[in-house]
Structure 1
């Protein structure tokens, strides 16, 4: 039996007190991309790049544990769009991030390797903590948010997202969560929600925290009761949490989806105002370089038809180039367009007359600080917001899981099992789970 087998068995048996006495494995399996393959998709369109070719499962050495850090035995993880970007080497290969980080300090040099262990979500059990860590100990069941900060300069001490050395763990750093072991900063750790399985608790992380800051936080749109909130991709990874936050916070979501099946998921969440953009046939671009304002107008009219004549107070934007012109047009006078991700393209175009003459605001939002992530996880733990897990793959099938997300052939979040041998394990609070089972399973099989 290997050291990892012993750790896995102790966790499955509930012998968490024994974790501190078990040896840390010298190596583990992780999902990687390779620096010598960054040109493998040269000449292909983004849509034709296949993550199954670039994502590998390799045996990699366990990294040295530094001060303020923790090694975590990963039971489950999940796919985010940043893993898709990493796997197709867009907009740039992530090895450029790792090289830059490696220049920061001798300890950061660990991250600059010819392979990149990816993944920005995890649930698992703390194996070891580094010097100066007091709030966590071996055996603690945890989830991790993906904000990696150094906090040695003043800029991050009001909002850690503004730290000059702010990075996304598993995307701009190495040793991510799509692996059997992960290296994190201790201030990334949060308690695992006791009523969820390993795979369910791993899935909210990045998108839940991102949606919380983008929509709820004062650093984002600062949503209030009664706000009309237009949510693009409302059944997807980000949008499914935005829809829940709007409903939970007394706002009125207008959910934009691309199929009847996705519309039905939004109805399961409790949303009533839904636009199937495929059925409506919206074509916001006449060609590669020119948008169609008449389509913006038709889209705005549809929103007002659903809301009884009201335009959105907030537009929850993440598709980017494809939809941004329509978003700026659709927001009410004095309204807010809050944007992140840009999964359809970064170079946005919009008619500035609709922005400046109608006193609208565009707010950029990127992930979340520790406090925001903690609050978002707390809502999950209390059963007020639910995971949106639709399907789970094995670690060996991560390439297929990433392809699903790349081709938008998924709903909600796609999970990946690491040390958890099967789905359904890790629940500690059956009573709370029973109260929320319908919500927890809303996306299952979608």
Structure 2
């Protein structure tokens, strides 16, 4: 049996104490993009770029373990939109990120390679820890958040997201979670929720923490009870957590979706106010260069019909260019538009009269700091927020999984198995799981 096979068997047999005594292999399988293929989609529209052509499963060397770091045996991971961006080399090739990181220090030079092991989520077991790591040991079952920081300057010591060397692991760094082994900083690690399977536990990390900061944290919208929250893509990987946080926090979500099936998912989560944007036929752009304010007005009227005449206190934005003008218009006077992404385009346009004359605010929100990620994971572990996993692929099929997300042909989150040989493994607390099984499975078989 291979060294990696021995590690896998120890984990599957719940012999986690043996992990420390097992040898770490010299190589492992990881999902990669290749530097010499960065121009492979040149001339194609984004929608025509196929992640199945650019994402490879390669045997790669295990990286050197540095101070404050950990090697993790990855049981499962998940697809995020940043993996889609990486796979289609947009808005820039991620090798530019790796080159820049490689110039920072001799240790970070490890990341500047002709291949990039991608992925910003994982669940797994700690294999080894580097010098200076005290809170984690081999055999610990963990999940990882994706904030990578150096914290050598002052800027990040109030909010680590403001660190001058803040990066997203597996996107702006190498050795990500779509692999059999991953390299993380020890301050990325959090306890695995013990009532979840490996693939369920791997799926919330990035999107759950992002939604928590964006909507709940004082660094984001600082949502309060009774707030009306307009949520774009409310059944998707990010919006599904925003919907849960709104409901869990006593707010009133207005869920924007694109199909009856996605509307039904929101109802299963407990939402009542739902807009099917395709059924309503909203077209916020007349053409490539001009928006249609009459459609903003029609959209705002629909929201008020649902809420009894009230406009949203908070707009949870992430589509970007396609929806941003409507979002700024729709927010109430003094309301907040909080944005964390631009999946439909980065160059936003909006009518500034609705912003400045009505005293609205636009807040930029990017992932989450360790404290926010820890709190978001704690809510998962307590069964107050649930994973939104809908489908799981094998590591070899990561390209297809990424294509599903690229084409919005998915619900919630799409998982990927690494060392876990099948779904359904890794549950420790069966009593808590049974209590919340309907919530855990809300996105399954949709």
- TM-score (ref. length: structure 2): 1.00
Per-residue CA distance 1:65-92 (angstroms, 9 max, x = gap): 0000000000000000000000000000
Q: Please list every run of at least 4 consecutive aligned residues from structure 1 whose deviation after the TM superposition is greater than 2 angstroms.
A: none
Instruction: Report the alpha carbon displacement of residue 115 of structure 1 after superposing the two structures with TM.
Output: 0.1
Paired residue secondary structure (1:230): strand
Per-residue CA distance 1:173-198 (angstroms, 9 max, x = gap): 00000000000000000000000000
Per-residue CA distance 1:112-151 (angstroms, 9 max, x = gap): 0000000000000000000000000000000000000000
Paired residue secondary structure (1:60): strand
Instruction: Report the alpha carbon displacement of residue 341 of structure 1 after superposing the two structures with TM.
Output: 1.2
Distance 1:136 1:150 in 2: 19
Please report the RMSD computed on the Cα atoms of aligned residues, expressed in angstroms. 0.2
Distance 2:445 2:153 in 1: 46
Per-residue CA distance 1:286-315 (angstroms, 9 max, x = gap): 000000000000000000000000000000
Distance 1:167 1:137 in 2: 25
Paired residue secondary structure (2:244): helix
Per-residue CA distance 1:215-270 (angstroms, 9 max, x = gap): 00000000000000000000000000000000000000000000000000000000
Distance 1:417 1:106 in 2: 33
Distance 1:376 1:137 in 2: 23
Instruction: Report the alpha carbon displacement of residue 435 of structure 1 after superposing the two structures with TM.
Output: 0.2
Per-residue CA distance 1:27-66 (angstroms, 9 max, x = gap): 0000000000001001100000000000000000000000
Per-residue CA distance 1:341-377 (angstroms, 9 max, x = gap): 1000000000000000000000000000000000000
- TM-score (ref. length: structure 1): 1.00
Aligned to 2:195: 195
Distance 2:41 2:210 in 1: 30
Instruction: Report the alpha carbon displacement of residue 96 of structure 1 after superposing the two structures with TM.
Output: 0.1
Distance 1:171 1:363 in 2: 23
Distance 1:185 1:343 in 2: 28
Instruction: Report the alpha carbon displacement of residue 391 of structure 1 after superposing the two structures with TM.
Output: 0.1
Aligned to 1:93: 93
Distance 2:308 2:362 in 1: 25
Instruction: Report the alpha carbon displacement of residue 445 of structure 1 after superposing the two structures with TM.
Output: 1.3
In structure 2, list runs of 5 or more residues that go unmatched.
none
Distance 1:387 1:77 in 2: 13
Distance 1:421 1:429 in 2: 20
Instruction: Report the alpha carbon displacement of residue 430 of structure 1 after superposing the two structures with TM.
Output: 0.1
Paired residue secondary structure (1:305): helix
Aligned to 1:370: 370
Instruction: Report the alpha carbon displacement of residue 170 of structure 1 after superposing the two structures with TM.
Output: 0.1
Instruction: Report the alpha carbon displacement of residue 104 of structure 1 after superposing the two structures with TM.
Output: 0.2
Distance 1:444 1:122 in 2: 20
Aligned to 1:219: 219
Paired residue secondary structure (2:238): helix
Aligned to 2:183: 183
Distance 2:192 2:70 in 1: 15
Aligned to 2:108: 108
Aligned to 1:277: 277
Instruction: Report the alpha carbon displacement of residue 169 of structure 1 after superposing the two structures with TM.
Output: 0.1
Distance 1:217 1:264 in 2: 28
Distance 1:226 1:330 in 2: 17
Aligned to 2:332: 332
Distance 2:257 2:182 in 1: 35
Paired residue secondary structure (2:416): strand
Paired residue secondary structure (2:153): coil
Paired residue secondary structure (1:337): strand
Paired residue secondary structure (1:237): coil
Distance 1:140 1:25 in 2: 19
Paired residue secondary structure (1:363): strand
